[in-house]
Structure 1
Amino acid sequence: MKNFPVFVFPVSLEFYLNARHTHKQLLTVYNPYDFPVNFKVLCTSPNKFTVIDPEGVIAAQSCIDIVVRYTQPSAAHCNSTEKFRITMYDRNTQQALGKRDVPTKLLEGEPISANLESLSDSFHPLSTRSTPIRAVEEHKDHRVTCTHTPYHREQQPVNVVAVAVSICCIAALLLPTQPEPVTSSQWPDWLHIGSNLKLVFSFVLGLVSMLVLRP
């Protein structure tokens, strides 16, 4: 027998003797696999329950709802545990793939959830008006209120040295390149600089520009 997990919700069933609406419940069986499977429902006390469609097929990546009815609720059956077993089978070989047991119990009285509305807190709708974000922290008898105000960036002073370096780098980049013929240039011989030196000035100008323009 293969050991495929069988997914069933809920994992247990509780019926209440004095609440007739609980005598009919649903079991949802999931098939998350990429192939269809057959299923079959068995019970330890079939005389107490009626199951609609206890056998069938679940398509790939689908689920089905199984209706379970408690047909003979009585005080003598209270607090006794029965079980449903859901077994999945391979459609071709009819080999069992996996199983899951779901315990059931008949309880006296009514479910507690019937009185939740009277015991719960009073809830009211929230206003849709936008309000400033406030964080309130209480510690014993002291209350501290923190209000987030808009952040304004202070104006930074202009870096005079960076501006001066930038002007020098720009002036150096405007000078003629050294390989140019000296006769065709109006600049003195000593003002001709090499291309490698211009690359250095360009790099320095880029660093200074990032320093000046960064937020």
Structure 2
Amino acid sequence: MKNFPVFVFPVSLEFYLNARHTYKQLLTVYNPYEFSVNFKVLCTSPNKFTVIDPEGVIAPQSCIDIIVRYTQPSASHCNTTDKFRITMYDRNTQQALGKRDIPTKLIDGEPSNTNPESLGDNFHPLASRSTPQKQTEEHPKVICNHPSHRDNPPVNVVAVAVSICCIAALLLPTQPEATVNSQLPEWLHIGSNLKLVFSFVLGLVSMLVLRP
């Protein structure tokens, strides 16, 4: 037999004579390996127990639940330890890979409802090293002044003036338009290349003024 560890939870079973709900319990068997395995359940006292699906296959990295029922609880069986043995086998060679024994016991009475935290040593809450006042001083509140909360900067007067000049220049007549019927002097007629320059400058100034 190889020495593969067999993972089962819980590691022991306890049945209580006066608590019928404990007559049925679950054993979870895990297969953490990268290959499927066969399993088989044996018992030292098969006349006391029934096991649903006592053998089968566990897929890789999976688990199964085995239902165990105590069928013949009696006072004469109390405080007697029985065992279940769960063995894993290689699916191809049927060679045993490992085994795990699960002790079981029938206890006279009912399960205790005592809070486990109240058992054993007495535990007490720990006092904090710092008082709430000190904690407040160590972690003061910080008010963040985000730039978006500040007053908006004043509009650039120079940029607005340049924009107005560019717009006015673009409204002037374009050479070589006829100036006979024009009421404006000839020197106010500008060329198309110059108007392209004014348009470019107006676009840059507009981006500067209108950006958030």
Q: TM-score, normalised by structure 1?
A: 0.57
Partner of 2:57: 57
Structure 1: stretches of 5+ with no match in the other structure? 121-134, 153-215
Q: Tell me the equivalent position of 1:130.
A: none
Q: Once the two structures are aligned, what percentage of the paired residues are identical?
A: 77
Deviation at 1:67, TM superposition (A): 0.1
Tell me the equivalent position of 1:24: 24
CA distance in structure 1 between the aligned counterparts of 2:132 and 2:31, rounded to whole angstroms: 54
Alignment match, 2:66:
66
Match of 1:82 in 2: 82
Hey, what's the Cα distance between the residues in 2 that align with 1:87 and 1:116?
Answer: 35
TM-aligned CA deviation for residue 147 of structure 1: 3.1
DSSP-derived class of the 2:134 partner: strand
Amino acid of the structure 1 residue aligned with 2:134: C
CA distance in 2, matches of 1:111, 1:11: 18
Larger proportion of strand? 1
Aligned to 1:112: 112
Deviations 1:58-99 (A, max 9, x none): 000000000000000000000000000000000000000000
**Structure 1: which 4+ aligned runs deviate by more than 4 Å?**
135-138
Question: Secondary structure of the equivalent of 1:22?
Answer: helix
- Alignment correspondent of 1:147: 135
Please show how residues 103-182 of structure 1 align to structure 2 within 5 Å.
103-113=103-113, 115-116=114-115, 136-137=128-129, 146-149=134-137, 150=140
State the AA in 2 paired with 1:41. V
Change (3 A) 1:136 1:116: closer
Which has the higher Rg, Structure 1 or Structure 2? 2
Distance in 2 (CA, whole Å) between partners of 1:65 and 1:144 is 50
Quote the offset at 1:136 in angstroms.
Answer: 4.2
RMSD: 2.5
Q: In structure 1, what is the equivalent of residue 2 of structure 2?
A: 2
1:104 counterpart letter in structure 2: T
What are structure 2's unaligned runs of at least 5 residues?
Answer: 120-126, 143-212
What is the letter of the counterpart of residue 35 of structure 1? F
- Give secondary structure in 1 for the equivalent of 2:76: helix
Per-residue CA shift, 1:99-149, capped at 9, x if unaligned? 000000000111113x549x89xxxxxxxxxxxxxx8459xxxx8953332
